[in-house]
Amino acid sequence: MQQKKLIKILNKKKLFHFDYLIFLIIINSIVFTFYTGFRGVYPIDSFIIFDSGFKVLNGIHPFKDYWTVTGPLLDYLQSIFFYLFDVNWFSYVLHAGFINCLVSLSLFYFLLKIGVEKKYSFFYALSISILAYPSAGTPFVDHHAVLLSFIALLFFLLGIKKDKKVFWILSGFFLVFSFFSKQVPSAYVGIFFTVILIFKHFLKNETKNYFYFFYSGITGVFLFLCFFFINGIPLENFIIQYILYPLTIGENRVESYVHNFKNTILDFKFIYISILPLIIIFFNKSLKKNILNNKDELLFLVVFIISVLIFIYNQTITKNQILIFFLIPFCLGVSHYILMSKFNKNQTIYLLLILLVITTFKYHFRYNENKKFMELENINLSGAVDAKLLDKKLSGLKWITKKYFNNPQFEINKLIEIKKIMTNDKNNKILVSDHQVLPALIDNKNFAPNKWFDPLSIPGKKNKYFQTYQNFFLLKLKEQNIVNVYVVERNKLKIFQTIFIDHQCFKKTVINEMGIMLNITKCLN
C-alpha cells in the first residue's frame, strides 16, 4: 500500500511526465557515452573511424580509394559529425552518443507500444543507455552493426504485434543500415526475418503490410548503390572487398570456433535468465494453450527468442570482447510485458527490476568503469595524461593505452616527435599504424589505401584475393605519388612489406622507439 501511495505522489509531481523521461534518457545516453569515450584508448579500435571519417570529409571514398572489409556507414556518418562540429574528439564521441540515444529511445518506445507501463519502460531504457554504446565510448563497427540490427528487431516485433506499415518500413531500413555498418549480424537477422515472413504469408493473414519490410530493404540497398554510383565507387570493388573476401575470413572463424559450456552458456547467463519467465510460460499448460491459439502472440515470442539466440551466436564467432549485455534490459522488458499480461503479479515484476539493477551495475563497472572492452581492465586509469598535449583536437581525452599503461607520457612524447617530423615533411606521405588519428591532426590529405592495418583486413599471400589487394594498394600509392611511409609501431612493418616483392627497395630512417620512416620511391619505380 505504501508503494502504491508513493507512486501516486510521484505521478502527481509529474516525475514520470513523458517529455521529462525522454529528456532524461537522452541526457543519460550522452553522459555515459562521453564519460567512457574520454577515458582511455585502444588504438586499433579507438582511432579507425576518426581516420576514415576524416578521409570521407576530404572526398576520399571507401572501396574506391581505400580498401575496407567493414561497412561505409560509420565513415560517412562521422564525416557529417566532423563537418557539423569540426574535426575533434568531441564530435567523434558525439557520434557514438547519438547512436546510444537512438537505441535507448527505440527501446523506450517499443516497450510503451507493447503495453509496459511508462515508469517501467523508462527504467529499462535507462539501463540500456548505460550498457549499449558506453562499453566502447567511440564509434565502432561492431556496436553500430549490432545495435542497428537490434533496432530493426524492435520494429519487426512491433510490425508483428501492431501490423502497421511504418514499423515494417523502419525495420527494413535499419537492417540495411546495419548491413552497411558490418555484414553480420544483419545477414543472419535478415535471413531469419525473411523465413518468418514467408511462414507468415502462408498463414494467410488478412493484411500484407509486412511486404513493406522487403520494399524498404530493397529501397535502402538501392539508395546506397545510387550513392556509390554518384561518388564513382566501382560496384566490383564493393563486392570483392565487402562480400567475397570477408567470406573467406568468416569461413575460417566458423570452422575454428569451439563451442563449450563457458562461451556458449556461462558468458551469457544473465541474458538466458532474463528470458527464463518466457520458458516457464511455455511449460505452463493453460498459458501454453492460450499462446498457441494466438498466432501473432506465438510469432512474437518465437521471433524474440530466436533473435536473441542469433545475437549470442554472432557474438561468439566474432571473437571480440562481449558487447551484447545491453540485451538484458530488453529481455527483461519483454518478460515484464508477458508476465503482466498473463499473471499480473507485481511481486514477479519486482524480481525483474532487482535483476535489472544488479546486472546494470555489474556490467557498468566491468565495461564502463574498468574499460574491459578496450583491454584496459586492471589498469589504473588515473595515470592517464591529457591528450591535448598531442593536439588540441584531442582536448579532454584522458590518454592511456594497454601497451604503455605504465608510462602514457612516454607514448605521447614519441607521438609528438613523429607528428612534428610528419608536419615538416613536405613530400607526399601516408601513415601505416593503429594510431590513425595522426593524419587528421596534421591535416594530411594523402591517404593510406587501407582502412585497417591488421592481418584480417589484409588478404594473406595464400588468399585468392591477395593479388587484387596488392594491385589496388600499389595503384593508390602511385596515383598519389607517395614518397614516404611513416610506420608507427614496428609490428606494422611486416604487414606493409607483404605488399612489395622487393623488400630491399625501402630506404629506412629510424625516428624513435615507436616510429620509422620508409622512402619508397625506388619501390614504386
pLDDT given for residue 293 in this prediction: 60
What is the per-residue pLDDT for 501? 75
pTM: 0.93
List Cβ neighbours of 60 (8 Å cut-off, separation of 6 or more): 66, 447
pLDDT single digits (tens) 61-118: 999 999 999 999 999 999 999 999 999 999 999 999 999 999 999 999 999 999 999 9
Average pLDDT for 275-292? 66
- Nearest of 318, 355, 306, 316 to residue 333 by alpha carbon: 355
What is the average pLDDT across 389-399?
97
The answer on pLDDT for 512 being more than 60 is: yes
d(CA 474, CA 163): 52
Split at pLDDT 50, 70, 90, the class of 427 is very high
Q: Is the CB of residue 40 less than 8 Å from the CB of residue 398?
A: yes
Q: Is the pLDDT of residue 344 over 70?
A: no
CA distances from 145 to 10, 71, 251, 393 (A): 38, 9, 19, 27
Distance (Å) of CA 411 to CA 137, 185, 191, 385: 21, 36, 46, 10
423 φ/ψ angles, rounded to the nearest 5 degrees: -65, -40
Q: Are 398 and 387 in contact (CB under 8 A)?
A: yes
The tens digit of pLDDT for each residue in 38-75 reads 999 999 999 999 999 999 999 999 999 999 999 999 99
Instruction: Give the mean model confidence (pLDDT) for residues 218-245.
Output: 96
DSSP string, 120-145: HHHHHHHHHHHHSSTTT-S--HHHHH
* Mean pLDDT value of segment 215-243: 96
Cell of 358: 544488479
State yes or no: pLDDT of 336 exceeds 90: yes
H, E, C per residue of 175-212 = HHHHHCCCCCCHHHHHHHHHHHHHHHHHCCCCCCCCHH
Percent of the chain exceeding pLDDT 70 equals 91
Average pLDDT, the chain: 90
Alpha-carbon distance of 402 to 414, in angstroms, equals 16
3-state SS, 271-286, equals: HHHHCHHHHHHHHCHH
Rounded to a whole number of angstroms, the distance between the first and last alpha carbons of the chain is 85
C-beta separation of 41 from 401 below 8 A: yes
CA distances from 446 to 55, 308, 416 (A): 9, 43, 20
Amino acid letter for position 287: L
Split at pLDDT 50, 70, 90, the class of 400 is very high
Residue 484 parent element (H or E): strand 484-488
CA atoms within 13 A on the CB side of 72: 24
Take residue 81 and report the three cell numbers written for it: 559529425
Q: How far apart are the C-alpha atoms of 321 and 318, rounded to whole Å?
A: 9
User: What is the reported pLDDT for 265?
Assistant: 87
